[in-house]
Amino acid sequence: MFDTKFAIVVRDDLAAWQKLNVTAFLAGGTVAASPNLVGEPYRDGAGNLYHPLPIQPIVVLAADQDMLRTIHRRALERGVETALYIEEMFSTGHDAANRAVFAQVSPEAARVVGLAMRAEKKLVDKVMKGAKMHP
């Protein structure tokens, strides 16, 4: 049905609140980068209007730190656009601070806690190889 796949991978040793927070941020960033990913608003039987949702499923995966490092490297090597969340961002309180701490970390030194992408299915599968479905 879809030529693309929307996948998010989060580090498996995070606290539940961190996994949810990272997943929400990464989904938001990926949707913002792909306006065509957003569907039409929803309306219930009483006529109440709700925000639109993404038009395709989002696969949520889990991986350890080493696998996340590998996934990040593969994405960079293949030129896949991603949303990335690093551990240092947990200590900040707003977007500008997140971007400031992010800018201080090289790709090789990044302690990645989550990564999201939407790309051609086979490419996403190759980059995400080794991550498991989130329990």
pLDDT in tens, 105-122: 999 999 999 999 999 999
Query: CB count, 10 Å around CB of 55?
Result: 13
Q: How many domains does the chain have?
A: 1
pLDDT in tens, 20-48: 999 999 999 999 999 899 999 999 999 99
DSSP 8-state code for residue 3: S
Tokens of 103: 């800018």
Which residue range forms the structural domain that includes residue 97?
4-133
Give me the residue label for tokens 């606290």.
15
Which residues are CB-contacts of 112 (< 8 A; sequence separation ≥ 6)?
A: 11, 65, 68, 69, 71, 72, 84, 85, 86, 87
59: exposed, middle or buried (C-beta count within 10 Å: 0-12, 13-18, 19+)?
middle
> Which CATH number characterizes residue 129's domain?
3.40.1490.10
- Note the pTM of the prediction, 2 decimals: 0.94
